[in-house]
Amino acid sequence: MLIAILIVFIIGYAAITLEQFTRINKSATALITAGLCWALYIFSGTAQEQVNEQLLHHLAEASGILFFLLGAMTIVELIDTHDGFDIITRKITTTSKRKLLWTVCILTFFMSAILDNLTTSIVMLSLVRKMISGKADRMQFAGMIVIAANAGGAWSPIGDVTTTMLWIGKQVTAWQVIYRLFLPSVVCLLLPLIFVAGRMKGDVSKPALKEKIKTKKEEGESKLILALGIGSLIFIPVFKTITHLPPFMGMLLSLGILWAVTEIIHKNKSDKDSYSVASALQKIDSPSIMFFLGILLAIGALQSTGQLTVMAGWLTATIKNVNLLCISIGGLSAIIDNVPLVAAAQGMFSLQQYPTDHYFWQMIAYTTGTGGSILIIGSAAGIVAMGIEKISFSWYLKKFGGWALAGYLAGALVYIFQENILH
């Protein structure tokens, strides 16, 4: 029966990675995989009470991540609904392709650390469409946004789902992730950015857009929600450090405060419902939430049946060098979604083997966060770019795959150097 669970998981995993060809949403596949894995486990002869107890344990761990993501997506959607991001767009006035690319990538890098790489990619790709009319130029910018968003998300506890998972799982702490992964992430972005920007010449053509006419009060509301939204996201690591409560509690507190503020400022408006949290919840990427739930529970089944422990033993025996092990796992994230990869690593390697903020966990945070940039299908940011700009797998591989790989390896070498040489 344990072999059957593994086979179901592998088939489910393959179906997730082949979503483009099967035309079946990966969220549906993940939920089916999770349901079948746990159903097979409970029929394996293990006591039903034990299986149910383990399932509830994994559900509790997954729920912390899901509520965190739900809150973050809602806050970002509220900012966008209030046109908060338009304030940023208006500040970018240059038309030089080279200068604009540097500006967009640096902005993406730091925004991703605050908002997360998925939402930042959506925001920045949308902003680029407002600033550039040429399809070919937008595709070049989109490719670099993917790399910048993944690099920016890797060095922040809230910048990437996988880093958030490691943070919530107590494999890493917020300050150590920022302190130890910032420089490698910068190098990961700079190497491809210098090359791509160097090839760009001339100016971009801007599309003719109708600007919304806003009153001073509406402009003030946009600035207020932008400041409160970004401030509340920055507040979450501080809240966790002070209270020692899980990060999702800080996220829920922040969302509650922002919710109350929007209710107050729009209470007398006829269209107040369009600015509400209820409206924002309808617009967020709910299928992604279900995907994370399904894949985390499926990984939990492998962990509960002991198969991840066996895999950990095989990996450590086969790849004895911790650097090669982390780089290999990160490289896999270009093909396989990094969420289940990190979930598997958390199940395979215990905190007794690698304590909190161990060299291994920090490098895993970097490699799984940035390795997905090598292929367009390797990250949520890449999938978003494929959808918005219709970028093909082969085009991205030809134009950006090699430089993304070079940046990934260069950042890994910087991490190894600073940890082993500079201490």
pLDDT tens figures, 29-51? 889 999 999 999 998 877 888 99
For residue 418 the two structure tokens come to 């600073």
pLDDT tens figures, 89-103? 777 777 788 899 999
Q: What is the pLDDT of residue 209?
A: 56
| 342 vs 310: which has the higher pLDDT | 342
pLDDT tens figures, 341-386? 787 788 778 888 899 999 999 999 999 999 989 988 778 788 778 7
Instruction: Assess whether pLDDT exceeds 80 at residue 298.
Output: yes
| 383 vs 200: which has the higher pLDDT | 200
Rounded distance between C-alpha atoms, residue 88 and residue 84, angstroms:
8
Q: What is the pTM of this model?
A: 0.74
Rounded distance between C-alpha atoms, residue 4 and residue 193, angstroms:
46
Task: Count Cα neighbours of 37 within 13 Å in the Cβ-side half-sphere.
Answer: 29
pLDDT tens figures, 143-153? 999 999 999 99
> Beta partners for 203?
96
Instruction: Assess whether pLDDT exceeds 60 at residue 210.
Output: no
| 106 vs 126: which has the higher pLDDT | 106
Instruction: Assess whether pLDDT exceeds 70 at residue 394.
Output: yes
Share of the chain above pLDDT 90, in %: 27
CA torsion 63-369-235-278 (nearest 10°) is -50
Burial 172-197 (b: 16+ CB within 10 A, else e): bbbebbbebbebbbbbbbbbbbeebb
8 A C-beta contact, residue 161 and residue 288: no
Q: What is the pLDDT of residue 241?
A: 76
8 A C-beta contact, residue 400 and residue 143: yes
Angle at 404 (CA atoms; ends 193, 416), nearest 5 degrees: 100
Of the candidate ranges 204-218, 292-306, 331-345, the one whose mean pLDDT is the lowest: 204-218
For residue 57 the two structure tokens come to 């344990």
User: For the residues 160-180, what does the mean pLDDT come to?
Assistant: 88
| Burial zone of 331 (CB within 10 Å; 0-12 exposed, 13-18 middle, 19+ buried) | buried
Q: Which of 64, 74, 121 is nearest to 284 (CA)?
A: 74
Residue 339: in which H helix or E strand, if any? helix 338-348
Of the candidate ranges 17-31, 171-185, 332-346, 398-412, the one whose mean pLDDT is the lowest: 332-346
For residue 71 the two structure tokens come to 């809150």
Rounded distance between C-alpha atoms, residue 25 and residue 38, angstroms:
21
Q: What is the pLDDT of residue 372?
A: 87
Helix axes 338-348, 286-304, angle to 10 degrees: 30
Instruction: Assess whether pLDDT exceeds 80 at residue 273.
Output: no
Instruction: Assess whether pLDDT exceeds 80 at residue 221.
Output: yes
Q: Which of 390, 372, 402, 317 is nearest to 154 (CA)?
A: 372
Q: What is the pLDDT of residue 406?
A: 95
Rounded distance between C-alpha atoms, residue 234 and residue 156, angstroms:
10
> CA dist 336 to 255, 281, 302, Å?
32, 28, 17
8 A C-beta contact, residue 116 and residue 161: yes
User: For the residues 7-33, what does the mean pLDDT come to?
Assistant: 84
- SS3 call for 203: strand
Residue 249: in which H helix or E strand, if any? helix 247-265
Q: What is the pLDDT of residue 215?
A: 76
8 A C-beta contact, residue 83 and residue 126: no
Name every residue whose Cβ is closer than 8 Å to that of residue 348 and which is 6 or more positions away in sequence: 308, 309, 311, 312, 315
8 A C-beta contact, residue 105 and residue 144: yes
- pLDDT averaged over every residue in the chain: 85
User: For the residues 130-138, what does the mean pLDDT come to?
Assistant: 82
User: For the residues 267-273, what does the mean pLDDT come to?
Assistant: 77
8 A C-beta contact, residue 329 and residue 368: yes
Q: Which of 161, 94, 198, 199 is nearest to 342 (CA)?
A: 161
Contacts of 18-21 with CB under 8 Å at 24 or more apart are 20/377, 20/393
Winning range, highest mean pLDDT, from 262-266, 286-290, 347-351 = 262-266
Of the candidate ranges 41-50, 190-199, 211-220, 324-333, the one whose mean pLDDT is the lowest: 211-220
8 A C-beta contact, residue 162 and residue 137: no
Q: What is the pLDDT of residue 300?
A: 85
Share of the chain above pLDDT 70, in %: 97
